Amino acid sequence: MEFGPISAGKFEEVIEHLRQHFPDEPLNECVGLCKTGEPCELLEHHDMSTLEEGFSIMAIDPKTGEIAGVALNGISNRGDNELAIEEMKSIDSIQYKQIFGLLYNTNQELDLFAKYNLEKIFELRILSVNSKYRGKGIAKELFLRSEILAEESGFKLMKVDATSRFSQRVAESLGMSTAKAVKYSEFKDEKGQSIYSIQPPHEYYKVMIKELSPKN
Ligand code: ACO
């Protein structure tokens, strides 16, 4: 497998990879924001702006040239989460709010910027491996290379909103710790209703972090 940065010429191919292989992410599978093989405007806007930040990494099968997996990485600045919560008010999609509302509100409560006295955090936002290449350690390698890039780029903290038991296992194996865990079955919305019915082994959404030793 070959690993490397994702150049602008590959962005469309990455979006196509995500249309095929990201929809079984546990929260999406539960609420049905994106359907396999179909465009998904709201998530793809988020994906594309993350790709444009220039910190994303892909795995390519050298035999076929196919994208085997991607880690879409971006920078979160102090205040971005508040803005995202504000922007979400103008979005009509209930499914989008069920996914990103959970992530943004949990991060708001956690406030890692205040806790660690930081202005910016390196985020691994989207981790996706082509279903035929899963279980071979590709996600782990993408994760590890993202961490190295974060350190080389001078970041002190790396964060992942890990919604899947599998991404949590990768994060744990690389020494990340859980800053906050939300049990899907116990979560209630503002009306007191349970909204996530997620299949095992995906029991929790975890905000996972690692303090880094920046090289710059
Ligand atoms: N059943 C049981 N265990 C599994 C499975 C499976 N189907 N798939 C992976 N694992 C385990 C592995 O054994 C490994 O654990 P271990 O180190 O304890 O042995 C761990 O999960 C990760 O294994 P990798 O081979 O590195 O992961 P893989 O390359 O298969 O990719 C990924 C994992 C990215 C989660 C993939 O399943 C996927 O793309 N899923 C759909 C999208 C998704 O859920 N992405 C993560 C959401 S969180 C986020 O995006 C930040």
Write b or e for each residue in 63-84: b if 16 or more Cβ atoms lie within 10 A of its Cβ, otherwise e.
Answer: eeeebbbbbbbbbbeeebbeeb
User: Cα dihedral sign for 137, 23, 127, 97?
Assistant: negative
Q: Whose CA is nearest to atom 8 of ligand 1?
A: 135
SS3 label, residue 39: coil
Q: How far is the CA of 132 from the centre of ligand 1 (A)?
A: 12
Rounded Cα–Cα distance for residues 173 and 41 (Å): 33
Share of the chain above pLDDT 90, in %: 97
Share of the chain above pLDDT 70, in %: 100
- Choose the residue to mutate in 166, 176, 207 for probing ligand 1, maximizing ligand atoms within 8 Å of C-beta: 166
Atom of ligand 1 nearest to the CA of 161: 51
- Is the pTM here over 0.90, yes or no? yes
Q: What is the reported pLDDT for 97?
A: 95
- Choose the residue to mutate in 25, 107, 134, 210 for probing ligand 1, maximizing ligand atoms within 8 Å of C-beta: 134
Q: What is the reported pLDDT for 214?
A: 84
Residues in the chain: 216
Q: How far is the CA of 192 from the centre of ligand 1 (A)?
A: 31
Confidence class of residue 177 from pLDDT cuts 50, 70 and 90?
Answer: very high
Q: What is the reported pLDDT for 68?
A: 98
Pocket flag, ligand 1, residue 200 (CB < 6 Å) = no
Q: What is the reported pLDDT for 190?
A: 85
Q: What is the reported pLDDT for 153?
A: 97
Q: What is the reported pLDDT for 149?
A: 98
Pocket flag, ligand 1, residue 62 (CB < 6 Å) = no
180-214 tens-digit pLDDT: 999 999 999 888 999 999 999 999 999 999 999 98
Rounded Cα–Cα distance for residues 28 and 42 (Å): 12
Pocket flag, ligand 1, residue 168 (CB < 6 Å) = no
Is the ipTM reported for this complex over the cut 0.85? yes
Q: What would the mean pLDDT of 160-173 be, rounded to a whole number?
A: 98
